[in-house]
Structure 1
Amino acid sequence: MAMRVTAAVATVLAVFLEDPDADRYGLELMRATGQPSGTLYPILARLQEAGWVAAHWEGVDTTEVGRPARRYYRLTPDGAVAARDAVADLSARLAKAQPASRRPRLA
């Protein structure tokens, strides 16, 4: 499935790309991206559907840890490659769309 990468999706992907092998849970992703659950979870669902992200429930005794089990998300190997390409492509498109007077000057 083709994944449309918006700025919100790119923000989520950028957090995953900080450590592509790390498991991340929803609240952690909400804090890192600044996105509310109503934005984040639909993005995660689309990333899963596209095969870019895999998810699993942690295996803990909820009474022992005193909280509900967390659902962890992680980039798939193909998802990591696709995420890097998509974030780079979006960055390039945004830079190109910016008027020349607003583009950063390289020293």
Structure 2
Amino acid sequence: MRITVPVARVLAALLAEPEAERYGLDLMNLTGLPSGTLYPILQRLTGAGWLAAEWEQIDPVVQGRPARRYYRLTPLGVTEARQALAELHAATRPTAPLRPRTEPGRA
């Protein structure tokens, strides 16, 4: 699985509460991603076995809204997401200490 910044945002949101079931709008609010970015990511993660997806069992007429599709990390997904985010963090960490900037004209 290729871990892009949007994928990392989704994984981080899901890992904040690994057992929690999240639906699309909830994840959009947590990640700041639009639906056109979020849903393809959820589909890829589900296809990879990292997410389980299930429609809630409600009567839309009684509830006054359509049924939601809930997503949650699978045990494999928890392990893989943690590993992927750790690798991403390690890859983006500076390797050399940053030197303080000097002002022009000063040594």
TM-score range, shorter chain: 0.7 to 0.9
Counterparts of 1:95 and 1:8 in 2: how far apart (Å)? 18
For residue 100 of structure 1, report the CA deviation from its aligned partner: 4.0
Match of 1:105 in 2: none
Counterparts of 1:76 and 1:38 in 2: how far apart (Å)? 23
- Residue identity (%): 59
Counterparts of 1:59 and 1:100 in 2: how far apart (Å)? 54
Superposition RMSD on alpha carbons, in Å? 1.4
Larger C-alpha radius of gyration, 1 or 2? Answer: 2
- Structure 1 runs not aligned, ≥5 long: 103-107
Matched, 1:101 2:75: no
Match of 2:67 in 1: 69
Counterparts of 2:6 and 2:56 in 1: how far apart (Å)? 26
Counterparts of 2:83 and 2:73 in 1: how far apart (Å)? 14
Higher relative contact order (CA 8 A, sep 6+): 1
Of 84, 93, 99, which residue of structure 2 is paired with 1:86? 84
Match of 1:5 in 2: 3
- The structure with the largest helix share of the pair is 1
Of 44, 47, 64, which residue of structure 1 is paired with 2:45? 47
What TM-score, normalized by structure 1, do the two folds share?
0.87
For residue 25 of structure 1, report the CA deviation from its aligned partner: 0.1
- Structure 2 runs not aligned, ≥5 long: 100-107
Q: Number of matched residues?
A: 99
Counterparts of 1:12 and 1:86 in 2: how far apart (Å)? 12
Counterparts of 2:93 and 2:45 in 1: how far apart (Å)? 24
